[in-house]
Amino acid sequence: MLDVKSLTKRFGSNAAVDNVSFTIDRPMMIGIIGRSGAGKSTFLRIMNRLTDASDGELCFEGRNVLTLTGKDKRDWQSDCAMIFQQFNLVPRMDVVSNVLHGTLGRHSTLTTMFNLYPEAEIHKAIDILDRLGIAEHAAKRAEALSGGQQQRVAIARALMQDPKVILADEPIASLDPMNAQTVMEALRRIHDEDGRMVIANLHTLDTARRYCDRIIGMRDGRVVFDGTPEQLTTGVARDIYGAGADFSEAATSTEIRDHDAVVTEEIRAAEVAL
């Protein structure tokens, strides 16, 4: 289904993605983890064709999507919708119009400028918002919503494209634990119910373990772990993050826990580090 072969992206002498190969044979929910600069975003950007690879192939359903041009490239970009940490909504525009922007490639500039979307698409947008539990906010400006609600609007916009794959670049990095949970549950449901592949860059181990079927660990552009949540032990995580014995999972956690317990753990981790 997805076959990544010796994928490399160099920026000058720095290989942001370095000879990455892996295969995914069915739609799964995949988490990519690794410290800042490991190459996670660059990989997603290559897959969505926001940036070109230096070498290698990325085949989806048997076709190398890295060589597509023109309409074929745009169709592929529509097949693999991307959501971002900062939501990338139009803040002053109402929620439903933001969602309808997911169909931009299919409509003329006039349609978009004057919000002349077909009624069926407006209904579809509202149905998707309903599915994500935010239909009641459809008429509000996007900026009036909480971060978690805004990210669900971004997911709704992605779903308007009816994509085969959803690429999520740190989708919960700006959210508090409660909103992070809602957004991850929405992504998991989209995978479970629609059979869409979801690939999410995540900065927290517990989130990757809890929501993903398979986890890929990157370090310095390379894949250094590829396995199940159960195989991602603290020792393995320490290797992925290139951390020492003072490595604390609490520092990469979004679990909803007792605040005092978290503070105590952080103090302990800081003491060990000293």
Ligand X SMILES: Nc1ncnc2c1ncn2[C@@H]1O[C@H](COP(=O)(O)OP(=O)(O)OP(=O)(O)O)[C@@H](O)[C@H]1O
E-strand ranges in 40-129 read 55-60, 63-64, 80-84
Region label for 229, one of left (φ > 0), alpha (ψ between -120 and 50) or beta (otherwise) = alpha
Shortest gap between Cβ of 97 and ligand X (angstroms)?
29
Shortest gap between Cβ of 166 and ligand X (angstroms)?
17
Query: Rounded to 5 degrees, what are φ and ψ at 235?
Result: -65, -45
Our CB check for ligand X shows the closer of 39 and 148 to be 39
Tokens standing for 91? 């803040």
- Residue 48 interacts with ligand X (CB under 6 A)? no
- Using CA atoms, how far apart are residues 116 and 121, in angstroms rounded to an integer? 10
Our CB check for ligand X shows the closer of 149 and 254 to be 254
Shortest gap between Cβ of 240 and ligand X (angstroms)?
11
* One of 8, 19, 22, 37 touching ligand X (CB under 6 A): 37
- Which segment (34-42, 118-126, 133-141, 234-242) binds ligand X by CB under 6 A? 34-42
Tokens standing for 217? 């660990």
* One of 34, 56, 148, 171 touching ligand X (CB under 6 A): 34
Our CB check for ligand X shows the closer of 16 and 165 to be 16
- Show the binding pattern over residues 194-233: x = contacts ligand X (CB under 6 A), - = does not: ----------------------------------------
Shortest gap between Cβ of 66 and ligand X (angstroms)?
17
SS3 of 83, please?
strand
- Residue 67 interacts with ligand X (CB under 6 A)? no
Our CB check for ligand X shows the closer of 11 and 75 to be 11
- Residue 50 interacts with ligand X (CB under 6 A)? no
Query: Rounded to 5 degrees, what are φ and ψ at 171?
Result: -65, -20
* One of 27, 33, 40, 171 touching ligand X (CB under 6 A): 40
Half-sphere exposure of 176 (CA within 13 A, CB side): 6
The DSSP output letter for 66 is: G
- Residue 152 interacts with ligand X (CB under 6 A)? no
- Using CA atoms, how far apart are residues 4 and 48, in angstroms rounded to an integer? 13
Tokens standing for 245? 């014995």
SS3 of 45, please?
helix
What are the residues binding ligand X (CB under 6 A)?
11, 14, 16, 34, 36-42
